[in-house]
Every structure is written in structure tokens, then in C-alpha cells.
Chain A
């Protein structure tokens, strides 16, 4: 160990301008959890309007004007920003930035990321992007209100979008810097003996995720640049000729195409869906293997499935565009690839389910979240199949069915995975376990109310209720039979909000009062558990570990302990 690691660094070097992957991971984690809370709060406000249209919003109504009503333009802003914050400022930074940064170098036995300074730059780009996004609420124009997908021509002419684009360019840069770092780290800094097929599944998931980010984000950056040009320099990339806005022909040269944006956007945004889900699957794999005390079932097929999934995710994007009239040949191609991509997802999910078979499961909080993930993600995935067929999608497109589908994937899916990860790795970060009682108080209501929020969306969606209506569809006769669900969903959402209080409290409470544990409290096999808790600043391990085994040697018959760390040498 170098001597310079011993002297105390000043606070700002240690915690603010840090280049230590663990500190950066925590910075990512804390920032993104705050953003998740903000994004969730926006949605809770929107749900008031949907449940009780045109009445004053309680508590925060005064922000929206003297009568406290949520006007449509504000509702649109909240909707667009809810999506943007949750995806780009919440889940991706938490799943990739925080978990990836903190756990990946530990799991591969590296002292840090390959490029520590670029790592810090990545966080600060993310931070600036977040600040730009949030400050757009306070500008005269207000925040973006063209949906998180920012479809032109609306996004080209509607106010508030410029800040959104600038914020996105920062966020994209952050993701690029981060993912280049992850890939290099995983390829170059694996500890001696840690061959590819000995990697924990979580590392594989992060590896594929990083490739998706490196290759899928630049086209969105290109699209953002083009949209910025449309807004600032008066170009017509996404504006067709003779476009009539508010009864007047728009004074631009025209000749562009709104479809161009959709292609560039979804070329990113479909892989983005896998960016959201793969890290969570990686966490679930770790938690399941550890708490079933069994090797993960079908590790090899899991790895091949996740790589195949990553590849396929680049050629399914236009299934978001079936109703744009791009032609049956295109639709046929993309619905075929969409059906194919469901195969690796199902392989992964099946492998997780089979891993449970015959295990004596430890029902601790991370495992509860992991177990809940499986059926919840299952619902999310299976309800996606009808959307992958052009014929069914024409009916379901832009209804609440779609909202229900992808929220099942990301909310009780990904976010439960991330919760599992927080409960699981908290002892590694702090040296203390989180309170189990509070954890269960967090888990059970969350599970119930998540379903309370999202299950009725399928009912509304199948009835044909559009997802974009400020009043939830009051003006439409076809919606009248299902609108009473709105109140139920909204109350579920607010109770879901309350259910997060034990979690927030738990994080702080356990910091001081949690049960003190040694470096391997769960009896786990992977490398991060051989480092001290918390791992040493800048170097992680007392000495770089050597790896002798595959990742999940649990309950091997004839051994004294029911787990064998990867570092344990083989005899003979």
C-alpha cells in the first residue's frame, strides 16, 4: 500500500471532489434517490388531478396559483418531468452510476475504476444535467411539457424544451463517460483468476448495460442536437413543409420529418429499457443465489441470454412506432424481433424461478424484494407481448395499458430490484445491517400499493383511456365506466408514498443503530465480501484477491460451510 493513502484527506477532497469509486457511487446513490423522491412527488401531485379533477390540490396547491388548481400546462410539465426524472435522473444513475460504481470494482477485485477522474467527471456531468433539468421549473417558460419522449413537432414549438435538451446533453455525456469506464474496468481490471465465466452475474449485467449505453446514447445525442438546432437556429429537421400551428402556417423552410426524431429517439430508448432492467436483474441474481444458498441455476445460459438480449435490443426499436404508418413489412420485421427478444428475458426469469426450487430460502428483506421482483417483472414482461404485435398495439397504443405495462417493469420490477440491492449491500457500505423490522414495514405495503397503483391501469387501458389526458378522460363516454378507478389508484399512490417513510428512516437509523456486522454478514461467495466493511478508501482490498472458483459455490456437498468464497484455493 502506498504511503499517501494513509494521510487524512480534507473533507471536500474525500467526499466532494473524490475520485474514489465508492464515494462516487454514494454520490450517485444519494443524488439519484433524491431525484427518485422528487419524480415520485410530481406523480403524486398529478394523481390528485386525476382522482379529483379541477379541485384545489391540497398542501402544495398554492404553488400553482391562487385557486390551487393544477392547470393542464402544469400537468403536462409534471408528466414530462416525471418521466425524465425517473428514467434519466433516478433509475439509470442509481442502477448504473451507484450500484455499478460501488459494487463492480469490488466484485472484480479491482482497487478502483480504470479512470477515476473520468468517473468523477461523469458524476458531475450528471449533477449539472440534473440541476439544469430542475432549474427549468423556475424559468419563465417553465419545464418541458412535451412528454419524456419529446416528440416533435410539439417539442419543436412548445416552451420549456430548450432547457430539457441542454440537460439531456449533459446526462448523455455523463452516461457515456461512465459506461466507457465500466467496460474498460471490467475488461482490464479483473483480479487474477477471475475469468469471464467466473464473473458474478451482476457484473455481466452491468457489462452489457454499459455497452447499451455506449452505443445507444449517441444517436439520442445526435437527435438532441438536431432538435436544439430546430429550436435555436430555426432549422426544420423535424418539421414538415406547410405545418399548421394554431391555425397559421409555420414560417419555416420545412422538409423535415417528425418520424426522424422517433427513429433516433427509440434507437436509444429501447435499449434504455434494458439499461433500466438489466442491473436490477443482476442484483436479483446475487440476492437469490445468496439467500437460496444454492448456485444460481443455469449461470451459463443466463450469461448468453443477457448478451443476446443486449444485442437484440438494438433491433426492436420501431415496435414503439407501429401506428406511424411505416408499412407492414417494417412492422412485420419489428414484431418478429420483438417476439425474439422476449426469449432471453424469459430464460433469465425462468432461471431465477428454478433457482428457488428446493431451496431453504432465507426470507430477509432483500430476498423479499427479490422474490416480489419475479412475478412483478413477469407481469410487466407478459403484458408487453400484446404491445409487440402491431395489430394489438394499434388499439392499445398510448392508452393506460402501456403505462401499466412499463411501470410494472420499472417500478415493482427495477425499483424493487434496486431496493433489494440497497438492503443487501448496505452492510458492505456501512458495516451495519439495515433494520429488518423497518425493512418489512417497507416491503409489504410497497408490494400491495404498487399493485394498487398499476393493476387498474390495465383495466383503464383496455377500455381505451388515453394516457395523456389531463382530466383522465372525463370528456369521453368510453372512459366513463372505468374512471372510478382513478381515485383508487391515486390513494394507492399516496399510500405507496407513505410506505417509503420506513425506508428513508431506516437508511439514517441503521447508520447509527443498525446491527454491527463483520465483513461477510450474509455468508456470500463473491469478492466484495472479502473486503473490509466499508472497503478501504481508494484501494478497497488489503491486497488484490486471487480468484480460484466460479461465483456461486453455495451448499457444495461435503464442505464444512454452506458457502465457499471465490478466493478460497482449490485443494490439490
Chain B
């Protein structure tokens, strides 16, 4: 007796288990980043008027814009990889998944450049509350990217054998990995204006 609805949808809920699970996980992630964003608001409200804006002037907006574009592109390729599986095109899947990973890597490299530039100017999390929340939020987001990359890499090379044995379940896995990836993307889309532009 296997656990039901691991692959097929339960008729009355219209979901398979993992999809519901990942949505719940994302709900908790919303609360996690929600907590941190409220901390941001709290600290900004407590800082002298205009201080957050002024402290944020050191940030590199062109690089961050580039990063935003890269991450959005990675979301697109992520969808394409899932769609390729739906269309039974495994080669295309490999290509798009590889591109997604490449984008993620590019994002991290640019983030690394930004971080080191800050450290070179002796800007650390301890400098002021703006950089405290900046490094915490972007650092945590970066960890989410790295975690996502590990999962995606697994599905790209070692885990892709599953395509031959259980194609439907594999497609489901890519779908929920994609949901997570879009969420991480979405978090950045909030982070970018809040930290860099406001």
C-alpha cells in the first residue's frame, strides 16, 4: 500500500501532495521574509528622517538592475524547462535547466562583486541599521539561491535519470522546484526596489 496522490491529483482537492507541500512551504517563507521586511520598516521608521535613503546611496544600482534581469530570465528558462518536459523534449529540458543554473551562478557572482566592493569601502553589517538589514536580507536571499541551485543541479544531472522511469513524477518535481524558484525570484523583485531604490 503506497502513499496515495504522490503523482496523481486527489480529485476533490485537485492537488498532488508535493504541490500542496511546496505551497505551504512558500507560505512559511512569505512569513519569514515578511518578518524581515517588517523589521526593515520598523528600523527605517526608527532611523532619522532620510537616513536610510542616504545610507543606501552607496549601493550599486546598475549592477542590481542587471541582477534583476538575470534572475527574471532564469525564471523564464525555468518555466521553459518544465514546458519542455511537458512537451516530451528532454534535450530542451537539459538546455533550459542549464541556462537557469547559469543565470543563478551569474547572479551570485554579481552579488559577490557587490559585497566585496562594500567591504573594500569598509561597509559592514555593523556599519548602521540599513546595512545590517541589507546584508541580512540579501544574504538570506543568496542562501535561498544557493539552496535552489543545489536542488536544480540535482535535477539537471544526477536526478534526471528519473525521466526514464517515472516521467510524470519527474515533471511534477520540476514544477514544484520551479514554484520555489519563482518565489526566490519574487523575493528579489521586492528586495530590489526596497533596498536599492527607496
The answer to whether any beta carbons of A and B sit under 8 Å apart in the complex is yes
* A2 in contact (CB, < 8 A): yes
A interface majority secondary structure: helix
Number of residues in B with C-beta < 8 Å to the partner? 42
Range for the number of chain A residues in contact with chain B: 35 or more
* A267 in contact (CB, < 8 A): yes
B61 to chain A, nearest CB (A): 23
Contact A188 B10 (CB under 8 A): yes
Given A253-B126, A257-B46; A184-B21 close (CB under 8 Å): yes
Residue of B nearest to A114 (CB): B17
Residue of A nearest to B4 (CB): A189
A65 to chain B, nearest CB (A): 37
The docked-state distance in angstroms from the alpha carbon of A264 to that of B43 is 13
What residues of B have a CB within 8 angstroms of the CB of A2 in the complex? 1-2
* A539 in contact (CB, < 8 A): yes
What residues of B have a CB within 8 angstroms of the CB of A391 in the complex? none
Contact B36 A222 (CB under 8 A): yes
Residue of B nearest to A175 (CB): B28
Given A114-B3, A184-B21; A229-B127 close (CB under 8 Å): no
Contact B27 A215 (CB under 8 A): yes
A226 contact from B4, B128, B136, Cβ within 8 A: B136
B19 to chain A, nearest CB (A): 9
A239 to chain B, nearest CB (A): 9
What residues of B have a CB within 8 angstroms of the CB of A267 in the complex? 35
Contact A235 B126 (CB under 8 A): yes
Contact A223 B2 (CB under 8 A): no
B127 contact from A114, A217, A226, A253, Cβ within 8 A: A253
Contact A229 B125 (CB under 8 A): yes
* B15 in contact (CB, < 8 A): yes
* B154 in contact (CB, < 8 A): no
* A441 in contact (CB, < 8 A): no
Contact B39 A115 (CB under 8 A): no
* B24 in contact (CB, < 8 A): yes
What residues of A have a CB within 8 angstroms of the CB of B31 in the complex? 214-219
CB-defined interface of B124-151 with A at 8 Å, one 1/0 digit per residue?
1111110011011000100000000000
Contact B32 A222 (CB under 8 A): yes
* B50 in contact (CB, < 8 A): no
* B194 in contact (CB, < 8 A): no
The docked-state distance in angstroms from the alpha carbon of A201 to that of B3 is 24
Contact B28 A235 (CB under 8 A): no
Contact B5 A218 (CB under 8 A): no
Given A114-B17, A180-B21; A218-B135 close (CB under 8 Å): no
Contact A233 B124 (CB under 8 A): yes
Contact A260 B39 (CB under 8 A): yes
* Known A237-B129, A263-B42, A264-B35; further 9 A-B contacts with Cβ < 8 A: A188-B15, A214-B31, A225-B140, A229-B136, A235-B132, A237-B43, A253-B128, A253-B129, A256-B43
Nearest 6 A/B pairs, CB to CB:
A222-B35, A234-B126, A219-B35, A235-B132, A218-B32, A218-B31
